[in-house]
Amino acid sequence: MKLNSRTLDDFIEDVAVPTYDRSDVTAGIVHFGVGGFHRAHQAMYVDRLLQQGEASEWGICGVGVLPGDRKMKDVMDAQDCLYTLALKHADGTWDTRVIGSIVEYLFAPDDPEAVIEKMAAESTRIVSLTITEGGYNFSATTGEFDAENPSVQADLMDGAVPSTTFGLVVAALARRKDRGLKPFTIMSCDNIEDNGHIAQSTFTAFAHLKDPELAQWLTAEGAFPNSMVDRITPVTTPEVVQSLSERYALDDQWPVAGEPFTQWVLEDKFTLGRPPFEDVGVQVVEDVTPYELMKLRLLNASHQALAYFGYLSGYRLVHEVAQDSLFSEFLLAYMNDEATPTLQPVPGIDLGDYKKTLIERFSNPEIRDTVARLCAESSDRIPKWLLPVIRKNLETGGDIRLSTAVVASWARYAEGVDEQGQPIEIVDQLADTLIPIARKQHDDPTAFIANRAVFGDLIDNERFVTEYRTQLDSLHSEGARATLERLRHT
């Protein structure tokens, strides 16, 4: 049975469907980046509110900006913006429901004017973002907005039709200012430390380049709440589509599968109100910082710790790595000895339980998350998630052995050849730069970390460099698994 509004009443009881009237839901949120994570997380929370009879003015209008988003546009059009969310438990059971909170989808390359006007409309009160770490166009080392980006330069030209998220959002803000409307809240839901501050810095920087008065208005009147978001959501595979068909006789062209665990911590900072997210389990707080540091340095950095060592050791699925006691012990040691000392107190969280739960989540065989996914876009992820742990411990005299070993494992992985001599596909926006540098490190062991665009001044720290060379040498001479064995016994 094809998924659309007309077939909802015909689904079997094992699939929950919206019981609210979607025709009564209006879009108060415009969201850029309608991928798996957004649909498993923010859209799911809004759907929960709608199920409770709340937030009918807070439906979501999705926006695609990249050429690859056309497929999502086609699926959303065919399925009336409905999709299936399957939460996969470790025992093989699924909790499956159809999500109805996305009520409209716009594809900016086809009609940028429609996207701009949608945001400029008084009914739009939040513009939210899951555009990935690289979508904010800033340097990981300096934090500065990259105004020389050719796409940004094109959007800054007089009379340009906006093609970037920055250009579209700022054009809409300019219209709101001209119409005497307050700016909408810009709400980042990406895995970046201080994601709200990063959004504020980058969007304001673009606005300043476009119109300094607009930037001043946005600074004075706008809001950019920080948030911490968490739910492991692998890329949808053909197997997920097939499983839905076999279990429920349901034809969904682009479902989402994820883990049962979910968390969202959100700073209560909005210009024009917000949905009552606290009614559906969101932690609405004054300061997100302790929670985001916990998540970025424990969960996200631990993913990186698993990824390169795991891939080099022959693993291709995350749960297989996590179920290997050598790796789980390595992860727990990293979290306890190096990451936790860099954290602030986290109100309401038992860190011991949180770390134990992380290992259990990584070990869930039903998720079938790929190691390759965790290895992708490392030049965005490592500087934001792992290097801050190293820097903090260098400042305080804390241990850096395990976190530095993770950096070395990335450098070894970036050579593009595994321990059996097979090629590795390096998926990274800096791949053309990183691979040649990594391949030099047999003769020049510090070549990789000398890249200041990624590592900043860490190359100048003798303690870090010495530790790094030790771990890289072990990876080259002994291999990934033997390196972990040695770390376990030292």
Report how many domains make up the chain: 2
pLDDT at 173: 98
Q: What's the CATH number where 220 sits?
A: 3.40.50.720
One domain, residues 273 and 369: no
pLDDT at 193: 83
One domain, residues 299 and 270: no
- Which stretch of DSSP H or E encloses residue 230? strand 227-230
pLDDT at 12: 79
- SS3 assignment, position 134: helix
Distance CA 148, CA 172 (A): 22
Which regions of 100-203 does DSSP assign to beta strands (E)?
102-107, 126-129, 185-188
pLDDT at 164: 98
Give the closest residue to 10 by CA, choosing from 75, 89, 98.
98
One domain, residues 279 and 305: no
**What CA–CA distances, in Å, run from 151 to 35, 105, 134, 166?**
22, 23, 14, 10
Domain ends where: 285, 308, 340? 285
pLDDT at 140: 62
Q: What is the DSSP string of 8-26?
A: GGGS-TTEE---S-GGG--
* 205-230 pLDDT per residue, tens: 999 999 999 999 999 999 999 999 99
* Domain that includes residue 174, residue range: 5-285
One domain, residues 119 and 173: yes
Distance CA 162, CA 207 (A): 13
Per-residue pLDDT of the chain (490 residues; tens, 9 = 90+): 999 999 998 887 899 999 999 999 999 999 999 999 999 999 999 999 999 999 999 999 999 999 999 999 999 999 999 999 999 999 999 999 999 999 999 999 999 999 999 999 999 999 999 998 889 998 766 778 999 999 999 999 999 999 999 999 999 999 999 999 999 999 999 988 899 999 999 999 999 999 999 999 999 999 999 999 999 999 999 999 999 999 999 999 999 999 999 999 999 999 999 999 999 999 999 999 999 999 999 999 999 999 999 999 999 999 999 999 999 999 999 999 999 999 999 998 999 999 999 999 999 999 999 999 999 999 989 998 999 999 999 999 999 999 999 999 999 999 999 999 999 999 999 999 999 999 999 999 999 999 999 999 999 999 999 999 999 999 999 999 999 999 998 8
Domain ends where: 246, 264, 285? 285
Distance CA 263, CA 349 (A): 12
Task: Tokens for 231, please give them.
Answer: 């739910």
Distance CA 91, CA 423 (A): 35
* 403-450 pLDDT per residue, tens: 999 999 999 999 999 999 999 999 999 999 999 999 999 999 999 999
One domain, residues 156 and 297: no
One domain, residues 302 and 449: yes
Distance CA 471, CA 383 (A): 19
In the sheet that holds 263-267, the strands lie side by side as: 227-230, 263-267, 283-285
Answer whether 446's CB lies under 8 Å from 468's CB. Answer: yes
One domain, residues 234 and 338: no
pLDDT at 122: 98
One domain, residues 118 and 264: yes
In the sheet that holds 94-99, the strands lie side by side as: 15-16, 94-99, 83-88, 256-258
Question: pTM above 0.85?
Answer: yes
One domain, residues 176 and 246: yes
Sign of CA dihedral 106, 109, 110, 116: positive
Give the closest residue to 190 by CA, choosing from 165, 159, 156.
165
One domain, residues 259 and 353: no
Neighbours of 102 (CB within 10 A): 28
pLDDT at 229: 95
Domain ends where: 269, 285, 301? 285
Q: What's the CATH number where 361 sits?
A: 1.10.1040.10
Answer whether 392's CB lies under 8 Å from 337's CB. Answer: no
One domain, residues 197 and 301: no
Backbone angles phi, psi at 437, to 5 degrees: -65, -45
**What CA–CA distances, in Å, run from 307 to 76, 97, 141, 312, 317?**
33, 31, 23, 9, 10
Distance CA 275, CA 29 (A): 10
Neighbours of 9 (CB within 10 A): 7
One domain, residues 279 and 297: no
Task: State how far Cα 34 lies from the chain centre.
Answer: 12
